[in-house]
Amino acid sequence: MIRVNFENKLKELHSQIVEMGSLVAKAIENSIKAFKNNDLELCKTIIADDEMIDELEKKIESECLWLIAREQPIASDLRTITMALKIASDMERIGDHAEDIADIVMRIDDKNAFSDSVHIPKMAERTIEMVNDAVSAYVNQDLELAKNTIDKDEIVDEYFNLIKNELVQIFNTQPHNLDNAIDLLLIAKYLERIADHAVNICGWISFSQTGKHKNTRIF
């Protein structure tokens, strides 16, 4: 009976991570949609919804610590709980960065900033793809998808470097557009960080099955 209760708790934890993954995937998609369409009302919704993500992260953290303290899980179960704890933290940060993008969109003066930026739309598309794939890899415990998602981070990094170089040119030649250029650089940086958190999620999926994190065996 004790083991059955423990297994049920793990299933509940899994469901909460899946729910949180759905929320953060929607948050980042909406933040880019708001940027593309200059949708200030959607920005407000993203900011308000981030509280739900924060509360869910706290709930997952509490339940993970409770399971560790009360159930004294064996190695494989402890890896599962550790994965949930770490992934929830990365998902919460993705939600925060989606909120950060929404905050910036609300102050950008140029309504055509999204379409006028050459590489940000493509970078955003790749970043959203990475987040969705990371969530899917968790749901299905798909190590191959997790690995492929990690590999895509190089593409996002390349876009960030291209955007950074483009904006440096704006800094030098169009001082009247300096504020908007800084905002675009911040959005690109948040996208780059979101991709990094997607990589982290995939790394913890691998850890749960192999006991290794970043090629280092933990347990």
What digits encode the pLDDT tens for the residues 1-24?
556 688 888 999 999 999 999 999
What local confidence, expressed as pLDDT, does residue 2 receive? 54
Quick one: average pLDDT of 61-79?
89
Average pLDDT rounded to a whole number, residues 206-218? 77
Catalogue all structural domains in the chain, each as residue range(s) with its CATH number: 2-217 (1.20.58.220)
pLDDT for the residue numbered 189: 97
CA 7 to CA 12: how far, in whole Å? 9
Long-range contacts of 3-7 (CB under 8 A, 24+ apart): 6/67, 6/71, 6/73, 6/77
pLDDT value at residue 217: 62
Report d(CA 26, CA 137) in Å as an integer.
17
The mean per-residue pLDDT over the stretch 81-97 comes to 97
- At 52, which amino acid appears? M
Phi, psi dihedrals of residue 90, rounded to the nearest 5°: -65, -40
DSSP characters for 12-30? Answer: HHHHHHHHHHHHHHHHHHH
**Distance set, CA 131 to CA 10, 18, 24, 33, 142 (Å):** 23, 12, 8, 15, 14
pTM: 0.92
d(CA 77, CA 35): 41
- Token pair 């992260």 in the structure block, residue: 57
Of all residues in the chain, what percent are helix, strand and coil, respectively (each to 5)? 85, 0, 10
pLDDT tens, residue by residue, 109-154: 777 777 778 899 999 999 999 999 999 999 999 999 999 999 999 9
Radius of gyration of the chain (CA): 19
Q: Residue 24 and residue 91: Cα distance in Å, rounded?
A: 6
- Lowest-confidence segment of 63-67, 168-172, 184-188 by average pLDDT: 168-172
